[in-house]
Amino acid sequence: MCHHNYTLIFKVVIVISLLPIPARINAARQEFTDLRAYPAERLATIVKEVGFRCNFCAKCCTRAFNGHIFLLDRDTAAVKKIDPGALEPAPYAEFCDQNGTFYVSGYALRVQDDEAGSCYFLKNGQCRIYDRRFSICRIYPYMLHREPDEKGKVDWRQVSGLDEHGEYNTDIPGEECLAIARETKDYEETYLMQEIGFLIFMQDYFARHRLRHVQKVYDDQLRRFNQGEEITVMVYYDGLLEPHRIRNR
């Protein structure tokens, strides 16, 4: 079991789904089906219109600007080869059982102790592993998932941090736009597949071990964590759970 201090307050998920796990699995599967039907050419048109080019400002490499970097299993495997110390449990646990153990669907990249919360791999404003950067780093700022806008309307979101970093309205060849769109779709589909796998695993795991998610225990454990107590987080990776003991600092 890994013991380490956590670099981010372990936040409660504001919208932990109250749906039972089977309903959550069905919803995720429907989202996956809808995503598969979304034409890559449509996103490529948006990529062309936005014309984003990275200017290495490194804003997206900080938690202050971008929140945490969730890793696909394939990226976690790469981090484990480069430097396992760069990993931490993703900060939004989906479940907490009646015994006070949290469960989360994957890993995130650790951050440094500076004010911005710079990525573990950022040094002097530059990525130390740029040629081996991870899936989300390659497609950013493009994305393809549905979420509500400021008026509550749920629709596809395609760009993050528009006009807040990098350069825009540059001329990007059509072939490159389509390649970006396809890579973005692949990332989002793989993310959903990982989430579905996690939910299916947890459904079976809870049944076999006579466990259940208890929101009150979640809230109580979170309070203890924020007061400095250690908690146990089980991270879903490669079809199994990896235990971590973490402490807020």
Backbone φ and ψ of 48, nearest 5°: -65, -45
Confidence at residue 99, expressed as pLDDT on a 0 to 100 scale:
97
Confidence at residue 3, expressed as pLDDT on a 0 to 100 scale:
53
Tell me how far apart the alpha carbons of residues 135 and 187 are, in angstroms, rounded to a whole number.
7
Tell me how far apart the alpha carbons of residues 105 and 95 are, in angstroms, rounded to a whole number.
9
Task: From 62, 119, 110, select the one nearest 246 (Cα to Cα).
Answer: 110
Confidence at residue 69, expressed as pLDDT on a 0 to 100 scale:
86
Strands, E, within 44-180: which ranges? 87-89, 95-96, 102-104, 107-109, 122-123, 126-127, 142-148, 154-159
Confidence at residue 178, expressed as pLDDT on a 0 to 100 scale:
97
Q: pLDDT tens digits, the chain, 249 residues: what are they?
A: 655 555 444 444 434 445 799 999 999 999 999 999 999 999 999 999 999 998 888 888 998 888 788 999 999 999 999 999 999 999 889 999 999 999 999 999 999 989 889 999 999 989 999 999 999 999 999 999 888 877 777 788 888 877 788 899 999 999 999 999 999 999 999 999 999 999 999 999 999 999 999 999 999 999 999 999 999 999 999 999 999 999 886
Cβ contact 98:212 at 8 Å: yes
Tell me how far apart the alpha carbons of residues 225 and 29 are, in angstroms, rounded to a whole number.
33
The DSSP line for 187-229 is HHHHHHHHHHHHHHHHHHHHHHHT--B-HHHHHHHHHHHHTT-
